Chains A and B, each alone.
Chain A
Amino acid sequence: MATLGEAKQMILDPAIRDWVLLPIMVVMLLVGVLRHHITVLITGTPKKPQLKAVRESKALMRGSQLRAFRNAIPPHAFASRKAFLTEAYDQGKYLKNPNAPKEGVPAPNPMTDPDMMEGMMEGMKKQVTNMVPQMLIMGWINFFFQGFVVIKLPFPLTLRFKSMLQSGVDTRDMDVTWVSSLSWYFLNLFGLSSVFTLILGDNNGNILYILGLHHYNEPIY
């Protein structure tokens, strides 16, 4: 029996640990730190709110406040405020641009609005800095370490974890506790966020992005 058990046992070359397992982790860690700094660099200062826009939103708030707490003030005070606000709203005194076209005219194309464009560009820039390094790392792993089994987990798992832990390795018989290189990459991708919090402090760019990228990767599993 003992010989049978030993025959079934699979042994990993320590070189795999030194040249595949640890490098993937270190590279991902370093790329994460690098991306954090790049994100900080390319993120422009937050856009300052326009005075007129603030005024518009506060005026709307004033109306709703008056509606909600009308009982708290005497009737004459309420009446004068109501008259003032309805007139102001009717004439559009508090609007951001009072001369804007009224309802019925189709909304302008968002592409021509510089404000909108800027916001979209900001989002794009972030997306790109998130996507590009991940795609590169994934390509690197697929190219060099495709089909590698890199680590054995020290605890048993059910069969359902096979697709999660052994993506890129198509074997039916291998024990679920063995982890393939590509899966090791994904484990790192999602598992390193708390490490980043430790290194870079709260609110670093990585956590957000990991949450965002999650949706992208789901079909791969």
Chain B
Amino acid sequence: MARLDFEAASLELQQYRQSGERASERVAYLASRIIKDGYSAKLKDDIWPFYEQAVTAALDVGDFRLADECIENLKRRFSSSSRVQRLVGMRYEAEGKLADAQKIYDAILEEDESNILVSKRQIALLKLRGLKSEAISALVTYLDTYYSDAEAWIELCSLYLSVHAYQKAAYCLEELILLQAANPIWHLKYAEIMYTLGDYSLALKQYCRVIDLHEDHLRAMYGIQLCASKILDNGEADGTTEALKELATERILATEVNQCTIDSIKQVVREYLSVA
């Protein structure tokens, strides 16, 4: 096996740490190589975040040996750290010992009730146990305190969607739009929920907003096309709707022709658009 390029590997790991991307397989591979080839001493002070990152990645890919090794090293250095304790809890979680994990998280929160990461793990535990309604109410309590956590809002939204509570899911997305108004994905999701709820005109507006934020967004254009046809079918349309539908059809064709190389798919698109 070729020697690992340590410089490149440590830089890559650092980038993952900063961006928060969860490329667990890659991270676990790089981490195990760095430890096995004896480079860990070269990381100096970076060794601790490195271990933390390695533990999460190792648990994701089920490499308990690597995770244990890193946790042991961290424990030796930070004996009473809640951050390390959380990793121990996650180790239990990965093994399926949910009760043990719960105990650890409870102990940490007793010490410090404002530990965001651990509060989130508790909610994750509820989800893991399949207690959807409990998870929802825990998330609502969490969001009552940490309003600005967009991740938690989208999580709550998908929980509501999984129990078909579309109105409530829409509420979550409104909050997300308020928090990050420039993110087209929230608008797109909101439009789709509105479409599901049957509010076609609002859905149409939201789809247009997505296009506004992200030019030639294919999914949104299909959305516009679909909403416009529904509105036209219901006979509530004005001139703009018709124009919008035509424009969407035209843009879909143009984009598909540019992007898609398979002729049969183009054919399908054309047929679909001519029917709708």
Contact = CB atoms under 8 A, between A and B. Distances in A.
Q: Is chain B a partner of chain A in the same complex?
A: yes
A69 B148 contact: no
Contacts of A58: 145-148
Contacts of A77: 171, 174
Interface string B127-166: 0000000000000000011111000000000000000000
B112 interface: yes
B43 interface: no
A59 B177 CA distance: 17
Contacts of A73: 174, 177-178
Contacts of A81: 174
Contact of B114 (A51, A69, A74): A51
Interface in B172-213: 174, 177-179, 181, 202, 205, 209
Contact of B177 (A54, A62, A72, A201): A72
Interface string A40-82: 0000000011110011001101100110010011100100010
A55 B145 CA distance: 4
B178 A66 contact: yes
B113 interface: yes
Contact of A51 (B145, B148, B177): B145
A113 B178 CA distance: 37
Contacts of B178: 65-66, 69, 72-73
B191 to A, nearest CB: 11
B147 A69 contact: no
A81 B174 CA distance: 10
A139 B114 CA distance: 47
A49 B174 contact: no
A50 to B, nearest CB: 7
A73 B178 CA distance: 7
A48 B177 CA distance: 30
A55 B112 contact: no
Contacts of B145: 51, 54-55, 58
Contact of B112 (A48, A59, A65, A69): A48
B179 A65 contact: yes
Contacts of A66: 178
B201 to A, nearest CB: 10
B200 to A, nearest CB: 13
A48 B108 CA distance: 13
B144 A55 contact: yes
Nearest to A73: B174
A61 B171 CA distance: 18
Nearest to B209: A72
A50 B148 CA distance: 17
A50 B114 contact: yes
A65 B45 CA distance: 39
A187 B205 CA distance: 67
B147 A62 contact: yes
A7 B238 CA distance: 104
A74 B209 CA distance: 12
Contacts of B174: 73-74, 77, 81
A94 to B, nearest CB: 9
Given A50-B114, A54-B114, A74-B202, A69 B177 contact: yes
A66 to B, nearest CB: 6
Contacts of A51: 113-114, 145
A49 B174 CA distance: 28
A54 B119 CA distance: 14
Interface string A20-51: 00000000000000000000000000001111
- 9 shortest A-B CB distances, which residue pairs? A58-B147, A72-B181, A55-B145, A69-B181, A77-B174, A62-B147, A73-B174, A69-B178, A72-B177
Given A51-B114, A58-B146, A58-B148, 6 more contacts: A55-B144, A55-B145, A58-B145, A58-B147, A65-B178, A74-B202
13 contacts: A49-B114, A50-B114, A54-B114, A58-B146, A61-B148, A62-B148, A65-B178, A65-B179, A72-B177, A72-B181, A74-B202, A77-B171, A201-B45
Interface of B: 45, 112-114, 144-148, 171, 174, 177-179, 181, 202, 205, 209
Interface of A: 48-51, 54-55, 58-59, 61-62, 65-66, 69, 72-74, 77, 81, 201
